Amino acid sequence: MQLHQLKYFVAVAEVRHFTQAADIVGITQPSLSKQIHALEDGLGAPLFERVRGNITLTAAGEVLLPLAKRILADVDTATREVQELVGLRRGRVRLGATPSLATSLAPPVLRRFRDAHPTIDLRVEESGSQDLVRDLLRGDLDLALIIMPAQGTDPGLRADPILRESLVVASVEELSVTPETGQLRITDLREQPMVMFREGYDLRDATLQACREAGFEPTIAVDGGEMDAVLSFVEAGLGVALVPGIVVARRPGVRVTRLAPPGVRRTIAVARRRDVVPTHAGRELRRILLDYVRDATNDGDLPPGVEPL
C-alpha cells in the first residue's frame, strides 16, 4: 500500500467516477485504474463495485475510506510541520468557528494573530459545531471554536472549555416580563411564534431542549435559517428566537430580553484532534486565543452574558 494509491482511492470514492478522479489527481485514467487494481491486490479485497457504469464502495472500501483520509491528513500535517520548522514555506492554520463565534470572538483573535505573524496563511471555516467536529476528525481543520454538547465531545478530540455564554430572547417588540426582575421565563414563550435555526445547528437543539424541558413544543413561524437570516426574520417581526447575547449587540432593531434562572447556557471550547500534534502555527493561534480571553476578562470587555471558565 502506497500513499499515492490511497490518494487515488479517495479521489475515486469522492466523485464515484474514474475519469473525473484521474483529472483531479493529474494522471491518466488507465494509470489510475492500474494503481487502484494494485491497491486491491495488495489488500486482497475489491474496493469498488462497477455495475452499469455506477461506482459504489464495497464493504472493504467503506472501511478503508475514513482510514485513508486520516492517513493522508496526517501526512499533510507532518509535511507542513517539518516545512514550517525548516522555513521552506509559509505556515498555514485552519480555524473553524460557529457563526456566532466567527462574528464575535474570532475577529479580534485573528487580528492579533495577523499582527504577530503576517506571513502565516489563515483559513477560516464557519459552520455548526457538529460539522466542525467532523472536519476536525477528518483532518480538515487544525482548531475549532465549538459549543460543547451535553453528552461530551468525541473521544478523538481534545476540547478545552474557555467561556460560558447565556442565551437571550431576541424580538422586535417588547415582551411581557416579570416586573421584579425584568426577565422572561421559558414558559412565557409557549404562545410566542418562534424563528428556528436549521437542522444540525446547535442553537436549534438548545431551543428545542429548553422548550421541551419546560413542558411544551414551540410554535415555529419560520424554520431552517442561518444566523443572519434568523436575526433578519426576527427584525421583520416574524417571531422571537433564542440566540447568544453576543450576536445581537450590533443589531439595534432587535430587543434583548434575559431569561430567568436557570436560563439556557452553553460552554464554548477550543478543540483539536487528540492524536495529532498541533503545528507551530496552530499552537500559536491557540495561545493568542487564550491570551485574548484573559485580557478581555481583565479589561471587562467580554460581551454581556459571557463569562470566562
How many angstroms separate the CA atoms of 247 and 173, rounded?
18
Q: In terms of DSSP H, where are the helices of the chain?
A: 3-15, 18-25, 29-43, 59-86, 99-102, 106-116, 129-138, 202-213, 227-235, 280-299
Let me know: does 221 contact 193? Beta carbons within 8 Å.
Answer: yes
Per-residue confidence (pLDDT) for residue 85, from 0 to 100: 58
Q: How many CB atoms lie within 10 A of CB 50?
A: 10
Per-residue confidence (pLDDT) for residue 88, from 0 to 100: 35
- Which segments of the chain have a pLDDT < 50? 87-89
How many angstroms separate the CA atoms of 43 and 37, rounded?
10
Question: How buried is 170 (Cβ within 10 angstroms: 0-12 exposed, 13-18 middle, 19+ buried)?
Answer: buried
Let me know: does 175 contact 257? Beta carbons within 8 Å.
Answer: yes
Per-residue confidence (pLDDT) for residue 117, from 0 to 100: 82
Place of cell 416574524: 238
How many angstroms separate the CA atoms of 272 and 132, rounded?
10
